[in-house]
Chain A
């Protein structure tokens, strides 16, 4: 009898250790991906300048790692959020906060310029939805999911995701504040309805509103990292 108790005690201890190990690995995964992003923004750009090949190295490493991690953990594309079944449900959750952000952005543009000037169209805006989808995949499809593993679903993990998103937009302070707010909204919505297409749509629309209405000098043309300075 006492042998069985000892055995079950040891089993419980092993399970606790395993759970702690899973949490630690999840946090390590987040740190690793964030490090790659910071390297791309700050180190590679300052050292390698315009070399796109070198600049892509940390991004490719991070992307490869994230894909491998999904495979290791048995996550499918649908689990991660590449799905359409909950697209409208996610859009419904995002509609009000996105509309509020757009109204606020237009209000900021109005008060800083005393007029609503629409910036000229640039062809690179066409890539914005793809860029937004990629960012949302890294932020929510990966970081949010690992934050939930380490810290559980809820405010703690949402806050971590928003703080990371904001950190990656430093030293552009206005953008850091805006991305913190955006990060909170998108992370919270993702935890309820994991749909990356809906998040990318909200992200693209908000970014369009920012790029087209707010003065480029106020946002330093949305530059972040080392590029912010030149």
Chain B
């Protein structure tokens, strides 16, 4: 058997570089597909639960599906299709129908944290991902079961 030339080593290095680029490209492509940067929204504590809005800026007429988690546990899901004229006025959306409201069932009297996620399909529906909307929403439930807003840091 012939002793290989330096070209074989160069090819091995080249192959490794190509594979690294392919994997890196795939990772970026997948990240953009699975967790796209075009969801915007916000959530806040109200007297009865959590309200907010969600917009898909890549598809401004779409009614986005959102899910509420409290203390890391799934609570409910909803379609963000309630009127939010303030969102339209602020230029976040093309129409006002992007609001959502979750009524909270009675919680234990203590500090809690709510998170609202956008449910996003990718890969022709084979993958589903949750993307956090805005910041986590801290709140306090007092002994009377009243929800008290805690300003975010």
- CB within 8 Å of B: which residues of A? 18, 22, 25, 28-29, 32, 35-36, 39, 43-44, 47-50, 54, 57-58, 61, 65, 68-69, 72-75, 149
Contact = CB atoms under 8 A, between A and B. Distances in A.
Contacts of A28: 9, 12
Interface in B94-137: 123, 126-127
A75 B3 CA distance: 11
Contact of A58 (B7, B22, B29, B30): B22
Contacts of B88: none
B146 interface: no
Among A36, A47, A50, A74, which residue has the most Cβ atoms of chain B within 10 A?
Answer: A47
B152 interface: no
Contact of A35 (B1, B4, B7, B19): B19
Which 9 A-B residue pairings sit nearest by Cβ, starting from the closest? A74-B2, A47-B26, A72-B4, A47-B30, A72-B8, A49-B123, A73-B1, A73-B2, A65-B15
Contacts of B2: 72-74
B18 interface: yes
B58 interface: no
Contact of A49 (B4, B5, B126): B126
Interface in B1-35: 1-5, 7-9, 11-12, 15-16, 18-19, 22-23, 26-27, 29-30
Contacts of A39: 19, 22-23
Given A58-B19, A149-B1, A25 B8 contact: yes
Contact of B26 (A18, A25, A43, A73): A43
Contacts of B18: 61
Nearest to B123: A49
Contacts of A75: 1
**How extensive is the interface on chain B, given as a class?**
20 to 34
A222 to B, nearest CB: 21
Contacts of A36: 15, 19
Contacts of B4: 22, 25, 69, 72-73
A36 B8 CA distance: 16
A22 B22 CA distance: 28
Contacts of A43: 23, 26
Contact of B22 (A18, A49, A57, A65): A57
19 contacts: A25-B8, A29-B8, A35-B16, A35-B19, A39-B22, A39-B23, A43-B26, A44-B22, A44-B26, A47-B26, A47-B27, A49-B127, A61-B15, A61-B19, A69-B4, A69-B11, A72-B5, A73-B1, A149-B1
A33 to B, nearest CB: 9
A217 B95 CA distance: 51
Contacts of A65: 11-12, 15
A45 to B, nearest CB: 10
A75 B18 CA distance: 25
A226 to B, nearest CB: 13
Contacts of B22: 39, 44, 57-58
Contacts of B1: 73-75, 149
Contacts of A25: 4, 8-9, 12
Contacts of B12: 25, 28-29, 32, 65
A31 B6 CA distance: 18
Nearest to A21: B3
